[in-house]
A and B are shown apart, each in its own frame.
Chain A
Amino acid sequence: MAPDRLDATFAALADPTRRAILARLASGEASVTELAEPFAMSQPAISKHLKVLERAGLVSRGRDAQRRPCWLEAMPLAEATGWLESYRRHWEANFQRLDALLDEMQAKKSRESIKRKRRRQR
């Protein structure tokens, strides 16, 4: 995904109302009226959030003038959450290298303490 697009995606995801809208759309398409129901918000306020989600490519809307249903575009979301997985993998990899380094440090430490003991025994 292009960095600009990703920025738009993450900016869109940063808002709790927009995340709740996405969660609702994950269970199927809905109209603005239906989306506004669980929120203490006006339809224009919800429409504003939808525009942000649309611009980020996370949501699409139908052409039907009456209802204009909204649905979730799964692909950008999957790409976005893929970053979280990348982050986790990045740190897992860091910590595995740290495991190896700590093993090496412990081995060195025990070799040194054996040497010290030998010296004392002489």
Chain B
Amino acid sequence: MKTVGSLTITTPSDREIAMSRIFDAPRTLVFDAYTKPELLKRWLGVFGGWSLEVCEIDLKVGGRYRYVWRGAKGNEMGMRGVIRELVPPERIVSTETFDDPWYEGEAVGTVTFVERGGKTTLTISMHYASKEIRDTVFGSPMEHGVAASFDKLAELLPSSA
């Protein structure tokens, strides 16, 4: 499989973490893949027997979204939030809350799509309620949380790798 860019993870401020990746496609397509449920179901968190069963997005400012992943054993993980800012195909700001939260407070995610020479840089930046929460999340538990939420990611990875 072709990989255009490698994933970079940075900490732009005390309360943030950001993840950046270049894709070999115009940003209208990347934006669609990020916001259309039928497309999201093809790539977001679908591996090792997990599928994105529920994917609903009311794509407008103030609109709600809801994702529910289901594992091979029928276990589920859900996430929801509200869209705060929307500038297609450039920028989306939304809140993020897990059904089974593993950190305090609401996280706010800013996703930007920057196109240059037909390639798109996708940046997902998460802003947490405090530095302590960010550190708990980033120093470890974003992966811990994501992993725990995805029901023992560590167990799934060897079988899906």
* Given A92-B7, A103-B2, A14-B132 contact (CB < 8 Å): yes
Interface of A is mostly: helix
Count chain B CB atoms within 10 A of each CB in A10, A80, A82 and give the residue with the most: A10
Cβ B153 vs Cβ A90 within 8 A: yes
How many residues of A are counted as interface, with CB atoms below 8 angstroms from the partner's CB atoms? 36
Cβ B2 vs Cβ A10 within 8 A: no
Cβ B154 vs Cβ A96 within 8 A: no
A residues within 8 A CB of B1? 96, 99-100
**Min CB gap B9→A, angstroms:** 7
| Interface check A97, CB cutoff 8 A | yes
Total contacts A-B at CB 8 Å: 107
Instruction: Flag B85-114 by CB within 8 Å of A: 1 or 0 each.
Output: 000000000000000000000000000000
**Min CB gap B156→A, angstroms:** 9
| Interface check B143, CB cutoff 8 A | yes
A residues within 8 A CB of B2? 99, 103
A residues within 8 A CB of B45? 90, 94
Partner of B23, one of A80, A81, A89, A98: A98
Instruction: Flag B29-53 by CB within 8 Å of A: 1 or 0 each.
Output: 1101100000100111111000000
Cβ B160 vs Cβ A93 within 8 A: yes
Q: Give residues 1-47 of A contacting B (CB, 8 Å).
A: 3, 6, 9-11, 13-14, 16, 19
Q: Give residues 36-77 of B contacting A (CB, 8 Å).
A: 39, 42-47
A residues within 8 A CB of B143? 83-88, 90
Instruction: Flag B108-125 by CB within 8 Å of A: 1 or 0 each.
Output: 000000000000000000
B residues within 8 A CB of A85? 143
